């Protein structure tokens, strides 16, 4: 065993990369659920974002256009979910699951001609001065743009929900859609917007995997990240900063267990590979002991006639 | 009434057949040999499943599309689900079914028992039945060549190994690469990460990055995607190898050579045997000598003398003059395994579940 081979700084840097995709998708889903909608289609929207982003980036040669297309693709698929659940009043759980299956199938169809293609590299954003700080610089300030975008997104969602009128309305719609409706808020419109935002975030998360973390296109390459994002929202008690914590914890233990294996730690590899799931769930369950409940209208269908 | 209906149906079928024949489409389905393939991944994974599929297509080309009909299913999980997929193929009239992953072994045997008239061919396993064959390739021969290159090329003396599922095939690969890397570079050290999957690009990329961060400048992989090569490319001065496929899009660097699976001649021979009625069960294990294991072109990044040594080993293995597991070799715990000049027997190799001396860590059980 050679634990000295593990460089804590490199570990910290790679946990930020390993956590970003799940974090962006989870914070998007958090907004959707805060509005009272349960969209289980995160995995489908992520993989759709992954291929849309990959295809756009590979075709145009610009990673930025790729990410824009990924957000668009995710949102478009989410629009389908919005039509089903908000207009046609379909069951949200069934529609979400169907969205995942549809997204997986459609992404592999679109992806047929992108196998073996190399995407344009996304440049790292070496922030001048800050990235020159010894020790902290390389860890915190020399990542790609999306790592910081993820952090900013969590902060923005937190501030939006806590301090803005729009955030209060969104939460009101999620807590009691009948009351919000009686007050004159457009429940369906607000929910559709939230669903589109969630879809765009999931799409960005997926593109982060196909354009930066891997980078290549393979069918089903999100490998269940969407389900982890969904679980994170619940275990984080619908609180943005806990989503961040959960994602970093998950990413951190994922990277750490690989490091421990490579260093030859005398714990069987099977236990190490399940540790990210166990530890993340355990910590978040303990933290959610303060009983912050889910939005009261979560998953319930709303119709103005009720 | 019943007869009438049947007559009508036959008439309709004949009519349909006539139309099909008239329009030039091949209708003589009953004359065609129906060949089924079960793949563990997508047919365009760039690795394992893709090469089985390409070999299958070559087989059809070889025998003739008018004589064989192929059905295949991608992304079939190992375990009970594969049993369902194979049963369905057998029920739909497949004459021979190739199941192309180690985890299909027991399901294949189960289905083979139920359909004694259908022939089954299982890749990389060791169980057989009167209507079920086992075929596999001696990939460890290719890994000996890779190990030679890896040991000579590493500057940090640390080689990272991305291991997939803890089965003898993978353990053999680790041992074979290690023995030959050590032979050319006594200071070499292996760092091994087990992923418990054949194909998960995100996990493979993370594992490759981790190994590189811990000082590895050569990455060997036993997983199927090109993600580790992408990570090696991003790191700059790290090399890797193509696995199952040539992965030439990463040549000349980081991909410096590769192990290529070529199943086409075997598939052609076996399907032909079914058509001729000469098919018999067997258990074969072919290597570099028959071309089932190919070594991808060694790129110019590799120095001439290293390249020459690697090719020399390849030729010696092919000619049967050298066996990658030749003594003296000890097991990891120091107990003697092979005496000077002794060669491992196939039985031990097929069930290999121990590391050789010098490797660190435990094999997950």
User: pLDDT tens digit string along A218-247?
Assistant: 888 888 899 999 999 988 889 999 999 999
Do the Cβ atoms of B192 and A261 come within 8 Å? Answer: yes
- Dump the DSSP string for B21-64: HHTT----GGGSEEEEEE-SS-TTSSSHHHHHHHHHHHHHHHH-
Q: A285 touching B, CB under 8 A? A: no
Question: What's the CA dihedral at B79, B83, B89, B90 to 10 degrees?
Answer: 150
Do the Cβ atoms of A270 and B364 come within 8 Å? Answer: yes
Q: What is the predicted pLDDT for the residue at B4?
A: 45
Average pLDDT value for residue range A293-301:
87
Q: What is the predicted pLDDT for the residue at A166?
A: 95
Mark whether B233 and B183 lie in a shared domain. yes
Candidate from A5-14, A186-195, B162-171 with smallest mean pLDDT: A5-14
What one-character DSSP code corresponds to residue B286?
E
How far apart are the C-alpha atoms of A121 and B339, rounded to whole Å?
51
Mark whether B180 and B72 lie in a shared domain. no
**pLDDT score of B256 more than 60:** yes
Q: Is residue B46 part of a domain?
A: yes
Q: Are B249 and B226 in contact (CB under 8 A)?
A: yes
How far apart are the C-alpha atoms of A189 and A226, rounded to whole Å?
25
Residue-wise pLDDT tens digits, B212-239: 999 999 999 998 888 999 999 988 899 9
**Cis peptide upstream of residue B252 (ω within 30 degrees of 0):** yes
Structure tokens at A63: 């990673």
Domain boundaries, chain A: 3-288
Rounded to two decimals, the pTM is 0.83
pLDDT category at A11 given cuts 50, 70, 90 is confident
Q: What is the predicted pLDDT for the residue at A2?
A: 66
**pLDDT score of B79 more than 90:** no
Residue-wise pLDDT tens digits, A69-120: 999 999 999 999 999 999 999 999 999 999 999 999 999 899 988 887 888 8
Q: Which residue is associated with the tokens 């396993």? A: B125
Q: What is the ipTM of this complex?
A: 0.85
Q: Looking at B97, B117, B137, which one is the last position of a domain?
A: B137
Residue-wise pLDDT tens digits, A237-277: 899 999 999 999 999 998 898 998 888 877 777 888 888 88
Per CB-CB distance under 8 Å, the chain B contacts of A273 are 194-196
Helices (H) and strands (E) in chain A, counts: 12, 0
Mark whether B67 and B98 lie in a shared domain. yes
Q: In what helix (H) or strand (E) does residue A86 lie, and over which residues does it extend?
A: none
Q: B120 pairs with which residues across the strands? A: B97, B132
Per CB-CB distance under 8 Å, the chain A contacts of B364 are 268-270
Mark whether B94 and B150 lie in a shared domain. no
Q: What is the predicted pLDDT for the residue at B42?
A: 82
Average pLDDT value for residue range A41-63:
96
Average pLDDT value for residue range A182-209:
96
pLDDT category at B1 given cuts 50, 70, 90 is very low
Do the Cβ atoms of B199 and A14 come within 8 Å? Answer: no
Do the Cβ atoms of B210 and A259 come within 8 Å? Answer: yes
Question: What's the CA dihedral at A71, A123, A22, A92 to 10 degrees?
Answer: 10
Q: What is the predicted pLDDT for the residue at B6?
A: 44
Q: Over B184-231, what HEC string results?
A: HCCCCEEEEEECCCCCCHHHHHHHHHHHHHCCCCEEEECCCCCHHHHH
Residue-wise pLDDT tens digits, B310-363: 999 999 999 999 999 998 999 999 999 999 999 999 889 988 999 999 998 888
Q: Are A207 and A144 in contact (CB under 8 A)?
A: no
Question: What's the CA dihedral at A14, A16, A17, A20 to 10 degrees?
Answer: 160
Residue-wise pLDDT tens digits, B6-39: 444 444 444 444 444 434 444 444 578 999 999 9
As for how many domains chain B has, the answer is 2
**pLDDT score of B172 more than 50:** yes
Mark whether B253 and B303 lie in a shared domain. yes
Question: What's the CA dihedral at A49, A54, A60, A64 to 10 degrees?
Answer: 60
In this structure, which CATH number among 2.60.40, 1.10.3470, 1.25.40, 2.50.20 belongs to the domain A3-288? 1.10.3470
pLDDT category at B69 given cuts 50, 70, 90 is very high
What one-character DSSP code corresponds to residue B129?
B
Distance between A268 CA and the closest CA of chain B, angstroms? 6
Out of B201, B209, B214, name the one closest to residue A218 (CB): B201
Do the Cβ atoms of B191 and A225 come within 8 Å? Answer: no
Mark whether B123 and B174 lie in a shared domain. no
Q: What is the predicted pLDDT for the residue at B18?
A: 42
Residue-wise pLDDT tens digits, B102-146: 999 999 999 999 999 999 999 988 899 999 999 999 999 999 999
Do the Cβ atoms of B230 and A273 come within 8 Å? Answer: no
Nearest to B266 by CA among B96, B78, B86, B75: B96
Q: Are B246 and B296 in contact (CB under 8 A)?
A: yes
Q: What is the predicted pLDDT for the residue at A286?
A: 81
Do the Cβ atoms of B225 and A108 come within 8 Å? Answer: no
CATH number for position B229: 3.40.50.2300
Percent of chain B, pLDDT > 70?
A: 92
Candidate from A174-178, B29-33, B62-66, B114-118 with smallest mean pLDDT: B29-33
Mark whether B109 and B239 lie in a shared domain. no
- Dump the DSSP string for A28-59: HHHHHHHTT---TTHHHHHHHHHHHHHHHHHH
- Dump the DSSP string for A112-179: GGGTTPPPPPPPB---TTGGGSTTHHHHHSSSBHHHHHHHHHHHHHHHHHHH-HHHHHHHHHHH-HHH
Largest Cα span, chain B: 84
Do the Cβ atoms of A221 and B203 come within 8 Å? Answer: no
**pLDDT score of B176 more than 80:** yes
Average pLDDT value for residue range B88-95:
95
A121 Cβ contact partners less than 8 Å away, ≥ 6 residues apart: A63, A215, B234
How far apart are the C-alpha atoms of B159 and B217, rounded to whole Å?
6
Nearest to A80 by CA among A195, A188, A187: A195
Domain with B188, as residue range(s), is: 139-260+293-351
Q: In what helix (H) or strand (E) does residue B81 lie, and over which residues does it extend?
A: helix B80-91
Out of A213, A270, A273, name the one closest to residue B205 (CB): A213
Out of A18, A116, A268, name the one closest to residue B362 (CB): A268
Q: What is the predicted pLDDT for the residue at B30?
A: 57
Q: What is the predicted pLDDT for the residue at B361?
A: 85
Q: What is the predicted pLDDT for the residue at A290?
A: 64
Which of helix, strand or coil describes residue B74? Answer: coil
Distance between B292 CA and the closest CA of chain A, angstroms? 23
Out of A108, A214, A222, name the one closest to residue B227 (CB): A214
Mark whether B190 and B105 lie in a shared domain. no
C-alpha angle B141/B268/B281, rounded to 5°? Answer: 75
**pLDDT score of B45 more than 80:** no
Mark whether B44 and B71 lie in a shared domain. yes
Do the Cβ atoms of B202 and A255 come within 8 Å? Answer: no
Q: What is the predicted pLDDT for the residue at A305?
A: 72
pLDDT category at A285 given cuts 50, 70, 90 is confident
How far apart are the C-alpha atoms of B147 and B179, rounded to whole Å?
8
Nearest to B48 by CA among B59, B37, B34: B37
Mean pLDDT for chain A overall: 90
């Amino acid at each position: 065993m050679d634990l000295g081979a593990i460089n804590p700084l490199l570990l910290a840097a790679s946990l930020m990369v390993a956590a970003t995709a799940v974090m962006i998708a989870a914070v998007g889903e958090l907004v959707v659920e805060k509005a009272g909608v349960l969209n289980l289609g995160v995995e489908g929207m992520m993989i759709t974002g992954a291929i849309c982003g990959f295809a756009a980036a590979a075709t145009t040669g610009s990673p930025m256009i790729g990410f824009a297309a990924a957000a668009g693709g995710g949102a478009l698929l989410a629009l389908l979910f919005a039509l089903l659940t908000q207009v046609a009043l379909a069951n949200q759980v069934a529609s979400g699951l169907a969205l995942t299956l549809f997204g997986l199938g459609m992404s592999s169809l679109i992806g047929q001609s992108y196998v073996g293609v190399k995407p344009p590299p996304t440049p790292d954003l070496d922030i001048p001065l800050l990235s020159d700080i010894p020790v902290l610089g390389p860890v915190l300030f020399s990542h790609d743009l999306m790592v910081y975008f993820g952090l900013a997104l969590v902060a923005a969602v937190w501030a939006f929900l806590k301090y803005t009128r729009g955030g209060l309305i969104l939460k009101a719609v999620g807590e009691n859609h009948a009351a919000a409706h009686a007050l004159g808020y457009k429940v369906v419109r607000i929910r559709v917007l939230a669903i589109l935002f969630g879809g765009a975030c999931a799409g960005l998360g997926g593109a982060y995997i196909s354009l930066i973390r891997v980078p290549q296109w393979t069918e089903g390459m999100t490998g269940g990240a969407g389900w982890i994002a969904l679980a994170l929202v619940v275990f984080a008690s619908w609180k943005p900063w806990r989503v961040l914590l959960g994602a970093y914890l998950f990413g951190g233990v994922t990277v750490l267990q690989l490091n421990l294996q490579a260093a030859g730690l005398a714990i069987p590899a099977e236990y190490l590979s399940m540790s990210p799931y166990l530890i993340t769930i355990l910590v978040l369950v303990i933290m959610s002991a303060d009983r912050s409940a889910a939005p009261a209208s979560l998953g319930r269908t709303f119709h103005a006639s009720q | 009434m019943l007869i009438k209906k049947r007559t009508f149906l036959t008439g309709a079928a004949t009519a349909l057949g006539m139309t099909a024949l008239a329009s030039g489409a091949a209708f003589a389905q009953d004359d065609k040999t129906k060949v089924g393939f079960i793949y563990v991944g997508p047919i365009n994974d760039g690795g394992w499943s893709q090469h089985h599929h390409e070999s299958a297509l070559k087989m059809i080309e070889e025998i003739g599309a008018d004589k064989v009909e192929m059905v295949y299913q991608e992304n079939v999980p190992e375990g009970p689900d594969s049993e369902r997929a194979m049963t369905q193929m057998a029920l739909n009239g497949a004459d021979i079914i190739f199941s192309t992953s180690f985890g299909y072994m027991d399901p294949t045997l189960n289905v083979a028992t139920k359909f004694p008239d259908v022939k089954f061919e299982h890749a990389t396993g060791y169980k057989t039945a009167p209507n079920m064959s086992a075929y596999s390739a001696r990939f460890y021969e290719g890994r000996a060549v890779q190990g030679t290159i890896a040991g000579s090329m590493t500057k940090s003396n640390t080689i990272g190994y991305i291991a997939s599922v803890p089965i003898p095939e993978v353990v053999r690969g680790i041992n074979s690469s290690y023995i030959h890397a050590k032979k050319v570079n006594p200071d070499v050290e292996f760092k091994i990460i087990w992923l418990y999957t054949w194909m998960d690009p995100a996990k493979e990329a993370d594992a490759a990055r981790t190994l590189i961060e811990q000082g590895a400048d050569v990455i060997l992989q036993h997983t199927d995607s090109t993600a580790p090569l992408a990570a090696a490319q991003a790191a700059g001065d790290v090399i890797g190898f193509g696995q199952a496929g040539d992965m030439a899009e990463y040549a000349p660097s980081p991909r410096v050579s590769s192990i290529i699976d070529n199943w086409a001649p075997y598939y052609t021979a076996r399907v032909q045997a079914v058509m001729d009625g000469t098919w018999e069960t067997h258990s074969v294990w072919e290597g570099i000598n028959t071309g089932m294991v190919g070594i991808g072109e060694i790129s110019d990044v590799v120095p001439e003398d290293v390249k020459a040594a690697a090719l020399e080993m390849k030729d010696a293995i092919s000619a049967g003059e050298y066996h990658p597991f030749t003594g003296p070799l000890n097991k990891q715990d120091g107990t003697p395994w092979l005496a000077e000049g002794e060669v491992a027997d196939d039985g031990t190799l097929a069930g290999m579940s121990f590391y050789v001396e010098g490797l660190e860590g435990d094999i997950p059980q």
